[in-house]
Amino acid sequence: MKSYTTELIKNIVLAGNSGSGKTTLAEAMLFEGKTIDRRGDIDSKNTASDFRDIEHENGNSIFSSLLSTEYNSKKLNILDVPGLDDFVGGLATSMDVADSALMVLNAQNGVEVGAEIHNRYLQKARKPMIIAVNQLDSDKANYEKTIESAKDRFGSAVTVVQYPIETGAGFNAIIDVLTMKMYKLGEEGKMEAVAIPASEAERAAELQNQLVEKAAENDEGLMELFFQNDGLTEDEMRAGINAGLLTRGIFPVFCVSGKKDMGVGRLMQFLTNVAPSPKQSAPAKDKDGNEVPCDASGPANLFVFKTSIEPHIGEVIFFKVMSGTVNEGVDLNNTVTKNKERLSQLLVSAGKNRTKIASLCAGDLGVTMKLKGTRFNHTLSSESTVFPKTRLPEPKYRTAIRPITEGDEEKLGEALNRMHQEDPTIHIEYSKELKQIILSGQGEYHMNILKWHLDHQFKVETEFVAPKIPYRETITKAAQADYRHKKQSGGAGQFGEVHMVIEPYTEGAKPRDMFKLNGKEMKISVRAEEEHALPWGGKLMFYNCIVGGSIDARFLPAILKGINEKMETGPLTGSYARDISVYVYDGKMHQVDSNEISFKLAGRNAFAKAFKEAGPKILEPVYDVEVLVPSERMGDVMSDLQGRRAIVQGMSSEKGFEKISARVPLAEMNKYSTSLSSMSGGRAMYSMSFAEYAAVPGDVQENLLKAYESEQDDE
């Protein structure tokens, strides 16, 4: 394949629901571009994009694929992404480097949940969208209903460019109202352009008028020509559609059968002629907000949008040339790791098949290998440019994992880190607090696919277990306690006595000099204070109130250390304690037997004793949850949320969907993605982000205390 200049490159992401035929359509596009000489198919497990064992076993895309082909003297970079919401990360990373999207709809089902979800992402990113109605040769294909559902879900920008004469087994001809020709299957199995039959002339003319009006809407000059000439030429219409695509003012609709390669060549002709090039897209910005023009003569800048690990090859790096021209063998700076990287080989990709190329221009997508430390979201630059990271969807599903074979912990850790490199929507946390490896992702299926890789690719047998909740402990009132540590066992002994008052910490509150405890007033004098921000959140305020030298100042750090140790394993459930003020006001020491260990133990035990008298409460993590649900499923979803102790914050409508904003305890969100999918037929989606720690209800606290006691007894 030759190198192409920026204006001759088209970067297209294939969006749409799983089962809409994206991979099959991509295969037909590669065939039309003569990148492959024989079309593969899903059943035969020989397509260019879905080439991994897990994809063959499941029959659907799991990872995004980059497919490059040539057509009409231009280069098409096609990004085939998974249609399932569990793997929406593939869309997010691909969308960042694509200049437009081809939304593939299954003519049997219309706009399905995957298409709705993908459209929301495209809408948020303001990406141009073209619609391909696929599988029109299927018996249950219904073109009219598909267009109706597209207009209902995507809005009035949906504009017909093509329609079929017939669907099902008789699908063999398409009317194109842009070229005003009929494309019909010829005797040699190829689509041929012929005159529109008289029986379709009126409908074609009416649809062309609608297309002309839509094209003219997006350009004032074209609007004037439209009124002046009572129409637009084909070239003028193309210019208007191109302008409309850039503003998402028009979503042109095409008709195809990817399986039978019908209408695919004409679709590719449109993509190469009308779809925006990288030069027409809004300029990228670096992390400081400065524009980086997509100019082949500028400084060389690459952005890594994907990395994968492939058997017998190792790490494969996928990148977009953001500016400049990159030649084989060039040295560039990784502006994240600060290392220099040599691109010893440049490749163009057609799925698992890759071809060497001498250079790539601004706007192009390419592949390289054998870099030292370059990963997803890194920038390679001839200067010091850094591009902002791709924003990935927040995790929605949480589970814990452990190896079945004792001693496989290190092996499991290495495997998980490699999986995260390939799929950055997998989050891994090695929780010292919970003593678990916590995995977070997009759904239960997402985690099951990860487990398949661990079992089959990395040969580490694992099991999922219920994830523990990172509770916190705190207090609600002031309390006093003292503790004497005394130990004598021959020779030097141990002695330390500590008296303290503890109270809840409040941001901005000043230290107190008077307490009323157990009906008695207690006056203290603060001599020094220390503020400690805790690694697990919240604060500890430590006040030295010692007078008269009852405890030597050199023992105060040991007392603080003892308190900190107890806060790491809270007195109630062993969870971290937070937001507490401690006043050490008195104590005793021994001239010979007092030492640091004595005062550490005295401070630890005095704190634990006071904590239990200070109205202790367990806090739980609460998340902001936003659910988008079809109106007809609203009642079921609301009832389910209420059963999860949710506090609804607000509701609003959004294009046939209801948006519910609620605060929900993390403990109640276990497997919520699976439940929501079941309740809504897969059409609802949600996001969640940490909000705060809040006190658990009394009955929940009682159950947690009993469970912890039982656990301690078992141990």
How do residues 53-68 score in pLDDT, each as one tens digit? 888 888 888 899 999 9
Say yes or no to pLDDT of 655 above 70: no
Structure tokens at 411: 């092996």
Report the range of poorest mean pLDDT among 91-95, 213-217, 615-619, 654-658: 654-658
Q: Which CATH architecture has domain 6-209+247-274?
A: 3-Layer(aba) Sandwich (3.40)
More confident residue, 210 or 187: 210
Of the candidate CATH numbers 3.30.70.240, 3.40.1390.10, 2.60.40.180, 3.40.50.300, the domain formed by 619-700 belongs to: 3.30.70.240
Residue 275's closest CA among 372, 174, 131, 397? 131
Domain 397-468 is of which CATH architecture? 2-Layer Sandwich (3.30)
Q: Which residue has the tokens 């982000």?
A: 689
715 pLDDT more than 60: no
Give the pair of three-digit tokens for residue 367.
């592949």
CA gap 76, 295 in Å, rounded: 19
Q: Which 3 state secondary structure label does DSSP give 302?
A: strand
Distance set, CA 443 to CA 85, 367, 382 (Å)? 8, 29, 40
Token pair listed for 61: 């895309």
The alpha-helical segments, DSSP class H, found in 59-106 are: 89-95
Is the torsion defined by CA of 382, 388, 393, 398 positive or negative? Answer: positive
What is the spatial distance between Cα 509 and Cα 529, in angstroms, rounded to a whole number?
A: 13
* CB-neighbour burial class of residue 634 (10 A; exposed 0-12, middle 13-18, buried 19+): middle
Q: What are phi and psi of 409, to 5 degrees?
A: -60, -45
Q: How far apart are CA 277 and CA 384, in angstroms?
A: 26
State mean pLDDT over 494-498: 94
Helical H segments across 342-443, by residue range: 409-422
Q: Identify which of 89, 72, 3, 77 has the alpha carbon closest to the alpha carbon of residue 350.
A: 77
453 backbone dihedrals φ, ψ, rounded to 5°: -65, -40
pLDDT of 79: 97
Label residue 20 by pLDDT band (50, 70, 90). very high
E strand intervals along 311-448 = 314-323, 325-327, 331-334, 340-342, 347-350, 353-356, 359-361, 365-369, 379-381, 397-403, 427-431, 436-441
pLDDT value, residue 500: 96
Residue type, 679: M
Q: Where are the domains of the chain?
A: 6-209+247-274, 284-381, 397-468, 473-615, 619-700
Q: How many CB atoms lie within 10 A of CB 571?
A: 17
| Cβ atoms 195, 210 nearer than 8 A | no
**Cα–Cα dist 538/43, whole Å:** 55
> Is 3.30.230.10 the CATH number for 473-615?
yes
610: left (phi over 0), alpha (psi -120 to 50) or beta: alpha
Spatial separation of the C-alpha atoms in residues 408 and 402, rounded to whole Å? 9
CATH number, domain 284-381: 2.40.30.10
Distance CA 90, CA 80 (A): 9
**8 Å CB contact between 611 and 604:** no
CA angle 407, 411, 416 (to 5 degrees): 130
Name beta bridge partners: 517.
Answer: 520
Burial of 262 (0-12, 13-18, 19+ CB in 10 A): buried
CA distance 593 to 324: 74
Tokens at residue 240, please? 């208007």
Res 52: pLDDT: 85
For residue 637, how many C-alpha atoms fall within 13 Å in the half-sphere facing its CB? 32
Is residue 657 a contact partner of residue 628, using CB atoms and an 8 Å limit? yes
pLDDT, tens digit, 9 for 90 and up, residues 526-554 = 999 999 999 999 999 999 999 888 999 99
Equal CATH topology for 397-468 and 619-700:
yes
pTM above 0.95? no
If pLDDT is split at 50, 70 and 90, which confidence band does 656 have? low
Q: How far is CA 370 from the centre of its chain?
A: 27
CA distances from 350 to 8, 29, 267, 419 (A): 18, 11, 19, 23
pLDDT in tens, 477-492: 999 999 999 987 766 7
Check: CB of residue 649 under 8 Å from CB of residue 692: no
Pairing of strands 301-310, 314-323: antiparallel
Average pLDDT value for residue range 325-339? 94
118 pLDDT band, cuts 50/70/90, is: very high
How would you label 45-56 residue by residue, b for 16+ Cβ within 10 Å and e otherwise?
Answer: eebbbbbbeebe
Is the distance from CB of 670 to CB of 467 less than 8 angstroms? Answer: yes
Contact 127, 103 (CB under 8 A): no
| Cα-Cα end-to-end distance for the chain | 66
pLDDT tens for residues 265-307? Answer: 999 999 999 999 999 999 999 999 999 999 999 999 999 999 9
Q: Distance (Å, rounded) from C-alpha 91 to C-alpha 83?
A: 9
Read off the amino acid at residue 167: T
pLDDT confidence bin for 432, thresholds 50/70/90:
confident
Q: How far apart are CA 428 and CA 656, in angstroms?
A: 36
Identify any residues that bridge with 662 across adjacent strands, giving them in sequence order: 625, 648
Q: Which residue has the tokens 């559902």?
A: 149
Mean pLDDT of the chain: 92
Q: Is residue 697 helix, strand or coil?
A: coil
Residue with tokens 């040539």: 70
What does residue 173 show for φ and ψ, rounded to 5 degrees? -150, 140
Neighbours of 147 (CB within 10 A): 21
pLDDT at position 9 is 97
| Tokens encoding 178 | 């842009």
Quick check: 6 and 293 in contact, CB under 8 A? Answer: no
Q: Would you state the pLDDT for residue 653?
A: 84
Tell me: pLDDT of 218 over 80: no
Tell me if residue 122 falls in helix, strand or coil.
helix
Residue 605 tokens, joined: 């035990």
Total residue length of the chain: 715
Task: Match 């209420």 to its residue by tokens.
Answer: 642
Q: What is the mean pLDDT of residues 79-84?
A: 94
Q: What is the mean pLDDT of residues 567-594?
A: 92
